[in-house]
Structure 1
Amino acid sequence: MDGRPHLIVLRGNSASGKTTIAAALQRALGRGTANIGQDHFRRVVLREHDTPGADNIGLIAHTIRYCTGRSYNVIAEGIFVADHYRDMLREVIAEHPGPTHVFYLDVPLEETVRRHMARPLGTELPVDKLREWYVPSDTLGVPGEVVLDGAADLATTVQSIRDVIGPVPTRPAAAGARFR
C-alpha cells in the first residue's frame, strides 16, 4: 500500500447522492479522512452562489491541499459543475503526490427530482430550479475518471468506490490526542 494520502473527488448533479456517499465513505475509511463538501464551503461558510470564479473555488482548493499536506485522505464532494470547477480540480489532481480517484455519479434527471423531493431541501428549492441546474454527463474528462450509474444502493456504491481506490493509509493521531 502506498503510504501517501489519497484524494477522492466525488461529483454529480444535485440530489445524486454525493453527500450521503461521501459521509458513508468517510466512516468506512476511518479517522484520518477529511470530507470536504462543496455545499458547506459555498452555502454555509461563504454564503455564495455557484458562479465562475467564486471565492469558494479557491477555498476548497486550499483546504484540499492543506488536508492532504497534513496526511489526511481527502474526499472532495460536490456538484462541482465542470464549467466552474474543472481548472481547479485538474490542478489539485495534477499536483497531488498520492493516489487520486475521480468519480462521477451519473443519475438521470427524473431520479434526482425524486430524490430531491424526499429530502428537507425539497420543500425549500423548487423542482424547476433543480431541472434548470441539471447538467447531463458533466464529467471532467480526466484519466481514470469512473462514471457510476447511481442505480446501486448506498452500501454497494461505497463498496464499488472502495474496490477502485483500494486500501488507504490511516493518519497517525497527534501526540496526546483523544478522540471522542
Structure 2
Amino acid sequence: MDGAPHLIVLRGNSASGKTTVATTLQRRLGRGTANIGQDHFRRVVLREHDTPDADNIGLIAHTIRYCTRVGYNVIAEGIFLAEHYREMLGEVLAEHRGPTHVFYLDVPLEETLRRHRTRPLGTEVSAGKLRDWYVQADTLGVPGEIVLDGTADLESTVELICARIGPVPTKTVAAGARFLQVQDRGRRADRGDR
C-alpha cells in the first residue's frame, strides 16, 4: 500500500548489534520512525525476565499497533526469542496493512561473546550466561524473512536493510513542531525541545 507505514522487525541474539543497527536505521529513515526496543520495555519499563507469556509481549504488540496506526514507520528490535515472541510477531505482521520486513542478524557465538565484553552489560551479565541465552539460527520462519550476516560492519548492514525496504514515508510537520532534532550522541537541538 503506497504511503502506508513500514513495519520492520530486527532480531538476533544478545550482542548481535540489533540496537546499534536499529538506532542508525531510525535516523536514516527520518522523522516518523519509531524505534521499539524489547529491552527497554522488558528490562526498563516492566523490569521483568524474558519468560513465555510475559507482560512485555502484549505491551510491545500494543505499542507497535499504536505507532503504525498513527502513521509511524516502526522498527521493532530485540532478541525476541522465537519460542516466546513468534505468535505475537506473527499477529502484528499479519495485521499490518503496509509493507513488512523481517531481518535476523546471524552472529556466531564467539563474536557475540567478543562484542559483549566491550559493552556496559558485559560487567552485569557473565559470558556463561550469554552462552546459556544463545540460540543458533532462531529465525521466525515467516514469509520474506531475511537472514543477514551479522558480522558485516554497521554501514553495510544498514545499507542492505535500506535497499531491501526501499523508500519509506516520513511524517511532515510544521516548522518547530514536535520532533526532536537529531544531533551527535542523541542530544537535543536546543533546550526548547522538551
Whole-Å Cα distance in 1 between the matches of residues 174 and 58 of structure 2? 27
If the length of structure 2 is used for normalisation, what is the TM-score? 0.90
Aligned position for 2:122: 122
1:126 is matched by which residue type in structure 2?
S
User: What do residues 17-36 of structure 1 show as CA deviations (whole Å, max 9, x unaligned)?
Assistant: 00000000000001100000
RMSD of the TM alignment (CA)?
1.3
Whole-Å Cα distance in 1 between the matches of residues 90 and 17 of structure 2? 22
Aligned position for 1:100: 100
Larger deviation, residues 1-10 vs 72-81: 1-10
Q: How far 1:179 moved relative to its partner?
A: 3.6
User: What do residues 1-51 of structure 1 show as CA deviations (whole Å, max 9, x unaligned)?
Assistant: 820000000000000000000000000001100000000000000000000
Q: How far 1:178 moved relative to its partner?
A: 4.4
Aligned position for 1:88: 88
List aligned pairs for 1:127-142, cutoff 5 A: 127-142=127-142
Whole-Å Cα distance in 1 between the matches of residues 104 and 34 of structure 2? 19
Aligned position for 2:28: 28
Aligned position for 1:113: 113
DSSP-derived class of the 1:102 partner: strand
Aligned position for 1:45: 45
Whole-Å Cα distance in 1 between the matches of residues 65 and 119 of structure 2? 32
Structure 1 residues 149 and 61, CA, compared in 2 at 3 Å: closer, same or farther? same
Aligned position for 2:61: 61
Whole-Å Cα distance in 2 between the matches of residues 18 and 49 of structure 1? 19
DSSP-derived class of the 1:76 partner: strand
If the length of structure 1 is used for normalisation, what is the TM-score? 0.97
Unpaired runs of 5+ in structure 1? none
Q: How far 1:124 moved relative to its partner?
A: 1.0
User: What do residues 151-178 of structure 1 show as CA deviations (whole Å, max 9, x unaligned)?
Assistant: 2110110000000000000123279724
Aligned position for 1:148: 148
Whole-Å Cα distance in 2 between the matches of residues 139 and 33 of structure 1? 24
* Identical residues among aligned pairs (%): 79
DSSP-derived class of the 1:15 partner: coil
Whole-Å Cα distance in 2 between the matches of residues 108 and 153 of structure 1? 14
Whole-Å Cα distance in 1 between the matches of residues 178 and 85 of structure 2? 36
Whole-Å Cα distance in 1 between the matches of residues 175 and 85 of structure 2? 37
2:37 is matched by which residue type in structure 1?
G
